[in-house]
């Protein structure tokens, strides 16, 4: 059966790699990308819109509907991550673009869900602002989303000591999504840092498998940022969750309720209480599958063959 997919994203280099992988292999993976929505995260919304549209043009897939989403978080507007991702799309100098469709992401997602007979799977690669707004505006359509594959969170942080970037940018939105009861698979920092990463030295070997010329340019740009790190490795965050959406059985997971800390120095941290205690149990519907392990070699093969 063809799976309906919606991707919410903030390209961003690893977002771009995940999008290339998902779009190029649409037929092979037997999914239909019903829409892509953008959200302020790695860069400004205008820049992210420009990057996504340029990518769709490069892939010759401007037939995939693209909708602009939220230009800032629900209650805050934090810095972007251009210090990692460049001021446009890594090495590519792409002009920002403000206007796409008049329809904004939450409304477009609602219309798509209404029109679909079968359920839709969401893959989120950025902050969860659009999804939270959608949940507030259209709660009656929530049941048509069968699963959310989310890149976000972890047992530690990468922006602050405690918070991962996508959750840090909009913790209130993330909490609403975790609390929604929609089945979620969370691909946090841990799985990519420990299993879904590539060493700088391995890059030429795997790049042999990739076909798209943008892949090399994007990776080379990203690698220059990671080359000076002691470990000389690059975690592939957004590609990890995309591979999980396509091959859920490939990963070992554990199940836990997940919530988000909203206060103090751990604001934006995902709380993952794996062990039951004498406290009242969490509501049964709030259970998240957290990706835990995979074969690194097989992951890299799967990924690069689709890039």
Count of residues near Ca ion by CB under 5 A? 6
What is the contact mask toward Ca ion in residues 87 to 126, using x (rule: CB under 5 A)? --------------------------------------xx
Q: Which of residues 143-202 bind Ca ion (CB under 5 A)?
A: none
254 SS3 class: strand
Q: How many angstroms separate the Cα of 136 from the Cα of each of 107, 204, 223? A: 11, 46, 39
80 binds ligand BDR (CB under 6 A): no
Residue of 257, 187, 208, 218 lying closest to 91 (CA atoms): 218
**Among Ca ion, ligand BDR, none, what binds residue 222 when CB lies within 5 to 8 Å by partner kind?**
none
Taking the C-alpha atoms of residue 17 and residue 236, their distance in angstroms, rounded to an integer, is 9
Distance CA(133)–CA(140), nearest Å, equals 13
- Residue 46 tokens read as 């205008």
Q: Which stretch binds ligand BDR (CB under 6 A): 12-20, 57-65, 99-107, 198-206?
A: 12-20
| 80, 164, 170, 190: which one binds ligand BDR (CB under 6 A) | 164
Q: How far apart are CA 176 and CA 194, in angstroms?
A: 28
Query: In the complex with ligand BDR, which residue's Cβ is closer, 19 or 74?
Result: 19
Cβ 115 to ligand BDR shortest distance, Å = 29
What residue 8 binds from ligand BDR, Ca ion, none (CB within 5 to 8 A, per partner kind)?
none
**Least gap, CB of 118 to Ca ion (angstroms):** 27
CB 25 within 8 A of CB 212: no
Query: By CB under 5 A, is residue 12 in contact with Ca ion?
Result: yes
Minimal distance, residue 42 CB to ligand BDR, in Å: 5
- Residue of 15, 164, 170, 190 that binds Ca ion (CB under 5 A): 15
Is residue 12 close enough to count as binding ligand BDR by CB under 6 A?
Answer: yes
Q: By CB under 5 A, tell whether 80 contacts Ca ion.
A: no
- Tell the smallest beta-carbon distance from residue 61 to Ca ion (Å): 19
Instruction: Give the residue, chosen from 125, 133, 210, 294, that forms a contact with ligand BDR under the rule CB under 6 A.
Output: 125
In the complex, minimum distance from the CB of residue 25 to ligand BDR, in angstroms, rounded to a whole number: 20
188 Cβ partners below 8 Å, 6+ apart?
A: 151, 152, 153, 154, 155, 164, 270, 290, 291
Q: Look up residue 94 and give its two tokens.
A: 């792409």
Q: Which stretch binds ligand BDR (CB under 6 A): 164-172, 177-185, 197-205, 218-226?
A: 164-172
Q: How many residues bind ligand BDR (CB under 6 A)?
A: 15
Distance CA 90, CA 148 (A): 27
Out of ligand BDR, Ca ion, none, what residue 164 binds, judged by CB under 5 to 8 A for its kind, is ligand BDR
Quick check: 157 and 260 in contact, CB under 8 A?
Answer: no
Whose CA is closest to 180, among 130, 221, 143, 216?
143
What's the burial of 213, exposed, middle or buried (CB within 10 Å: 0-12/13-18/19+)? exposed
Q: Is residue 122 a contact point for ligand BDR (CB under 6 A)?
A: no
Beta partners for residue 9, in sequence order: 38
How far apart (Å, rounded) are the C-alpha atoms in residues 153 and 162?
9
Residue 193: name the closest of 157, 237, 227 by CA.
237
Residues of this chain that bind Ca ion (CB under 5 A):
10, 12, 15, 125-126, 238
Residues of this chain that bind ligand BDR (CB under 6 A):
12, 14-15, 42, 81, 84, 125-126, 151, 158, 164-166, 237-238
């Amino acid at each position: 059966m063809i799976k309906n997919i919606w991707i919410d994203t903030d390209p961003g280099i690893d977002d771009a790699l995940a999008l290339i992988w998902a779009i190029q292999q649409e037929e092979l993976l037997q999914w239909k990308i019903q829409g892509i929505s953008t959200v302020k995260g790695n860069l400004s919304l205008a820049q992210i819109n420009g990057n996504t549209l340029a990518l769709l043009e490069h892939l010759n897939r401007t037939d995939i509907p693209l909708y602009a989403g939220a230009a800032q978080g629900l209650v805050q507007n934090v810095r972007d991550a251009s210090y990692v991702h460049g001021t446009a799309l890594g090495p590519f100098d792409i002009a920002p673009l403000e206007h796409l469709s008049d329809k904004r992401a939450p409304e477009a997602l609602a219309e798509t869900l209404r029109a679909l007979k079968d359920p839709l799977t969401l893959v989120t690669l950025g902050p969860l602002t659009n999804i939270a707004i959608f949940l507030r505006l259209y709660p009656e359509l929530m049941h048509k989303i069968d699963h959310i594959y989310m890149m976000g969170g972890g047992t530690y942080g990468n922006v602050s000591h405690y918070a991962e970037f996508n959750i840090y940018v909009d913790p209130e939105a993330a909490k609403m999504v975790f609390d929604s009861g929609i089945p979620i698979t969370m691909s946090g920092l841990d799985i990519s840092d420990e299993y879904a990463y590539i060493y700088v030295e391995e890059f030429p070997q795997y790049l042999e498998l990739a076909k798209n010329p943008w892949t090399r340019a994007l990776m080379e740009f990203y690698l220059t940022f990671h080359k000076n790190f002691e470990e000389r490795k690059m975690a592939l965050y957004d590609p990890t969750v995309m591979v999980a959406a396509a091959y859920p059985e490939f990963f070992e997971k554990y199940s836990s309720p997940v919530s988000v800390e909203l206060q103090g120095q751990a604001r934006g941290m995902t709380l993952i209480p794996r062990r039951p205690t004498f406290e009242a149990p969490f509501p049964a519907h709030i259970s998240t599958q957290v990706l835990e392990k995979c074969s690194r070699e097989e992951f890299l093969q799967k990924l690069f063959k689709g890039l």
